[in-house]
Structure formats: C-alpha cells, structure tokens
Structure 1
C-alpha cells in the first residue's frame, strides 16, 4: 500500500519545484554574443544554481514551493529575515528576464514601440547609447532596465546585485552601488529601536484599502517613493555573463553586441505594443 502513494506523490512534487527551462534555441550559443560555453555558464550553470538554492529555501513551505519567482520576490521584499529567499528568487527572475529578451538573429523593432521610445529618448540611437553607457558605468554587478510608466513613457532604471524593478519590491530595488555610496552609521540604541519599530509596522499586512492615499490606501502597499513601472527589457552586468567570452576589458563591446541580439518582438509585447507571447519566466 505504501508504494502506490509514493508514485502518486512524485508528479505533484515535480510540478511544484522551480525548474530550469532549457532555452533550446540558445544551446549552440548566441551568435555574436555568447559562445556555447559562455551560455552554459551564464544560463545553465548559474540559473540552475539559483533555482537549486531557491528550492532548498522553499521546500516544505507550502505555497512558496510552487509560487513563481516574481511572486516570491515581491512577497519577501519587505522582510529582512527572508533576504536569502528574496535574493535567489529575484536573481533567478532577473536572469531569466535578460535571456528571455534575446534572439539568435537581429530583429526589427515594431513601429509602435519605436514611436514610443523615440518620444521618450528623442531617437533609438540615443536610447542605445544611454543604455550601453549606463550599464558600462556600473561598478558592481546588477541590471539596467528599460521600463514603461503608467503614462506610457519610457525610462532607464538600474538595480544592483539582485534588486528588483517591480513596484511591489521597491523596498529592495537597490539602486545604489554600496561600494561607492557613503552612508552614516550610528550605534544609538534609540535609533536602533525606532528602526525595528518601523520595520514591524512596515511588515504588518494591510487587510483593506481606503482611498487613493494615506496609510490604508492601495499605494501604501508600495515602498516609499515607489514608481509604478513595467519592466520590458534588461541587460545583465554580472561578470559571469560576459567575462568568459569577452574578458575583463571588453564589457562595453559585450553590451554593444547585446544590443544587436535583442528580440524586439518580445520587448514590444511586454510593452503592450504587439501580439507576441512575451517573456516566459521561471516558476
């Protein structure tokens, strides 16, 4: 009687676990951007490691074990005690976002997306130069994002390490490189007590929303200063992505090659400007 129960339980386990998508179209590498070995390191090995760690952190936790990486990173962005789970979920999601917007060939930007981008950046060439320059200037690893606001405008946004661009996770957006950012340090017990008091308040769930503003409004669920944006494209500046193929000194060349391998159909779909299927992300 025991064996049938085990056999029936296994399929449920397999459906729940976070698994590595094969991305079969890149198995031979991404021409002009990543060799087969480069892709293996940046995707198969690194993404596999992130998901392995994430599974270990969520096993036995009920719904977390089957939640998408996006849902997990938003859920735990406000909880310092769950930083490890947030970091692995967010990094797995960001890395998949990066690879999901790549193509093995040069693609043509849909006209509707081009018009919107030109309205925000004056020209596509200006956007390209700003994107590459911003990513090249990042001292630490992270991502540079192209985001679309609720008003239909476009902007660039940076996140360091495993920071997230999503409004619900702006508590952990991590827009500054702490290797170069000076911050005051205090040992005042009163300040420490106030910090933990504010953290306790911030972590209290909001059961209902009232009005457009104030502590019980829908906006209170977002981080202070959080901007409601939709990420549609990103590039990774993590060293394990570009160094195996491009070395230490050719980060800018990697970024310029990346621009030529963007799948603009996927980007347009994410922006709501086309009928394509858009990025499909890790569970």
Structure 2
C-alpha cells in the first residue's frame, strides 16, 4: 500500500541510508521481528540517558518512560495483533491510521509512542548540559543560527513555548517544527496529535471552533517536520514538580536539552 506521501525533505532517501532523518524515524521505535511469522512486535527501547535529574527523578523516569511508554506500546501491540498493521513500524502505523475513523485509538497509541520517544531522545541531565560542550546550543551552529533567525534568541524561543503552554489545558505536546519554507515555528498538538500530518495535528483547542486552512496553496503535501518537543501530559511533571509547577518544569526541560540531537535532526530535514 502506497500510504505515505513523502515530504520534500525525504525524497530520494533510501532505507539503507542510515544517516537520513526518514530512516531514523523508522528506527526510532525499535521492533522485535519474529522471523517465523515475519511479524513485528514493538518493544520499549532503551533511552540514551537514564540520569535526567533534575527534570526527572529515578521515580519520575519510571512513571514517564518505563510505565507510560510500556502501557502505550502494549496497548498498540494488542490493537494491531492479527491485523494488516501487525508487521509495520510505529512510524508507518501513524500514517496508515491517521485518516481512518475505525483506527482512531490505534493512531493515538502509535503517535503517542513516537512522540514520547522523540521527547526522551533529546534529553540529558542538567549537569551534563552544563559540562559537555557537544550538547550545548552555543556549539551547534546550525540550530543556533536558525533560532536567531526565527526567534531572535533562545530566551525568546523559551518565552514563546511558555506562552503557548500557559494557554494549554489538558494533555498536549509543544513542538518546534520546520515548516514548508525551512522556517522554525512553535506549534501545539493535543492528546497524541502528530505534527507530521495536517489531518491529525490536533493543534486546535478542542473546545473552540477550529478554522480550516487552505492547504492546497502549500508547496508540499507534507506537514511540519519536528525537531524537538516537550510533553505536557500530567504524568511528565506531576511526579517531580507537582500540580502547579509546570512553568518550572518547562524551564528545567530547556536546561536539559541535548542540542546536538536537535542539530542533527535539523540538518537531516532541511531542503
């Protein structure tokens, strides 16, 4: 099934190109292949860093990664078992189920698994962020320049993220994404919405009447390419920051970003 309309950033990329952003997407949620039946059963991968203090305590990691990701992946496996989706990667499942009402829950589980792994992949402890030059924004020139050009400064970017978060009620993700014109934007998706797809970005407040943009004028058939995100689901910050300290959680997250990961994502996505 040719379900995926490849964005311009991914055109010409083959799966064997391990440096491509597309192949990284496909591999970002590893799967265990059962050779006998040629079916994929998704597992919870190891994240790059387990020490993410003070953003996540040891208990916070267990809740936000081990337990939450474990629940999401198990629920996804339960839904796709015995279906035509059983042997697809999680990234592919997101696209195949995005516009099918009968697969709405499957989409949510697949998209949430992807979103959460994308989030944890770019985190380090605040101590490492201060001590390791490789992960610091100042030593990753492409993303640093892009932030300057689009937001003027990293402080202005953080302020924009916090302003959007302050107007967000309920479970959501905030993303820094690359748009059709290689510009960085800040956007929000509710629940497990995906920035990859216009149809399932879930970026409008569900309590408001949404406007419908005219996508026919856009230069490509693909939505935004994410380069970084922050989880605004309750489980991500209640454990270590409590009910009323979401702004402190966002500040701590911004000090815990591995900018070298973000730099690589941006370089592989520019067209």
TM-score category (smaller protein): 0.7 to 0.9
Q: Normalized against structure 1, the TM-score is what?
A: 0.73
Q: 2:76 aligned with 1:54, yes or no?
A: yes
Larger Cα-atom Rg: 1
Distance in 2 (CA, whole Å) between partners of 1:60 and 1:164 is 25
Partner of 1:36: 58
Secondary structure of the structure 2 residue equivalent to 1:255: helix
Question: Compared with structure 1, are the counterparts of its residues 272 and 24 closer, same or farther at alpha carbon in structure 2 (3 Å cutoff)?
Answer: closer
Q: List per-residue Cα deviations over 1:226-282 (Å, max 9, x = no partner).
A: x632100000000011001110011110010000001101111110179xxxxxxxx
- Of 260, 263, 270, 1:265 maps to 260
User: In 1, Cα distance between the equivalents of 2:231 and 2:58?
Assistant: 18
Per-residue deviation at 1:122? 1.4
Question: The residue matched to 1:156 in structure 2 has which SS?
Answer: strand
The normalised TM-score by structure 2 is 0.76
Q: CA deviation at 1:142?
A: 0.9
Q: Report how far residue 31 of structure 1 moved.
A: 1.3
- For the aligned residue pairs, the C-alpha RMSD in angstroms reads 2.4
1:165 aligns with 2:187: no
Q: Superposition pairs for residues 126-205 of structure 1, below 5 Å? A: 126-166=156-196, 169-178=197-206, 180-182=207-209
Report what 2:99 is aligned to.
Answer: 78
Residue correspondence of structure 1 range 105-124 to structure 2 within 5 A: 105-106=128-129, 107-109=135-137, 110-124=140-154
1:13 positional shift: 6.1
* CA deviations over 1:169-227 (Å, ceiling 9, x no partner): 3211111232x3258xxxxxxxxxxxxxxxxxxxxxxxxxxxxx79xxx96xx5xxxx6
What is the match of residue 49 of structure 2? 25
Contact 2:64-2:236 within 8 A present in 1 as well: yes
Q: Is the 8 A contact 1:70 1:89 kept in 2?
A: yes
CA distance in 1, matches of 2:209, 2:119: 30
Q: Does the Cα contact within 8 Å between 1:112 and 1:273 map onto a contact in 2?
A: no
Write the distance in 2 (CA, Å) between the matches of 1:228 and 1:258: 25
The 3-state SS of whatever aligns with 1:232 is: strand
Contact kept? 1:144, 1:157, Cα under 8 Å: yes
Give the superposition deviation at 1:98.
0.8
1:199 aligns with: none
Task: State the 4+ residue runs in structure 1 displaced beyond 3 angstroms.
Answer: 9-15
Q: Which runs of 5+ in 1 are unaligned?
A: 1-8, 184-212, 275-283
How far, CA to CA, are the matches of 1:108 and 1:263 in structure 2? 7
Q: State how far apart, in whole Å, the 1-side matches of 2:64 and 2:37 are.
A: 27
CA separation in 2, counterparts of 1:114 and 1:273? 15
